[in-house]
Structure 1
């Protein structure tokens, strides 16, 4: 298959899910940057591909797909290189789907919400709502305890390394840079899991690219 054309930005958490998947599968990606600071994501030509005005978007000839988890699944299902990131055994796949559902519905809303208050709200000129930070922080305690217990005898969340580990990665990476990083660091099995994830070559490739692209954007080169 030819290169996957992805409209997005590597510093974008959702784009990171897409790129991490592609790099794990040793796929070629043509990353097409979008100037979101100039509002290009709200222009008609982008809205025709992504009606919610967000990134990333995948284009393959006449096929267009949005939503990072859907794109990650598509790349995994269509890439011929690397190893699959979705188990084929029915029981293992069911466990994978269980945790993929939990990531999207239980964990991500609060991790993303906390990160948004600490990072994105101030970035847009707003003020962090400490009450909301506290709400998200407290809401994460029990689910993270459950995840910590799940990882007691597993290297990765669903057993082998899968897309669900990738789905969790971008926002946990950001959370670990915030004062609330104890949510991860105080839970030894999650901390050990993170060490394994962040040691993977695809992770290192991705976040090297993120730092380079972020620096270029800050200097006005992109």
Structure 2
């Protein structure tokens, strides 16, 4: 069920943050998109999340082409966690994730069961009924991830999931994503911080809307000694 992009292009009206001839194969495990601000990371994820439509090129999932007639099928298979807080201060994680589950077409016992299971997957069961105004930033991010996986997607797309978190919380958050990938979810996330991608299985380096490099992370580590050194090489 890999994601495949061939010759994908996208341009905003002001010609900024373009995607230029992007070719990628995203398989199981964790794949990190590394790049400076404005490199096109968020645009790529929004195209994959079907928030934006590429101007040309082809996207396929598990051998099925992404078209207007298959977009609904793809959305059922994907979870999207955009940057920024999604949960409202007055909501509890259970209420928030339940709402997203309902929007995903779940209801009744299935909705409640899936909500509890999603919160458990991100280690947030103990805080399920605490108002978001009393939760830490890391807990709110975990609630967003729970909402992203409540319908058991094959693909989980996250835009800068560690933004604004301190180093310890960032490390815990990345470990949470790795745990999800161990259950079979294809995790694709973006970051402009090299430390966030150290333990990813695969790394996509983006620069000015193009893919500058794509390989298993171990390949870069062997070639440059560390991901930090590789980051310096590309930027």
Tell me if TM exceeds 0.5. Answer: no
> Which structure has the higher relative contact order (CA within 8 Å, separation 6+)?
2
Greater helix share, structure number: 1
Alignment TM-score, normalising by the size of structure 1:
0.35
Greater strand share, structure number: 2
Alignment TM-score, normalising by the size of structure 2:
0.33
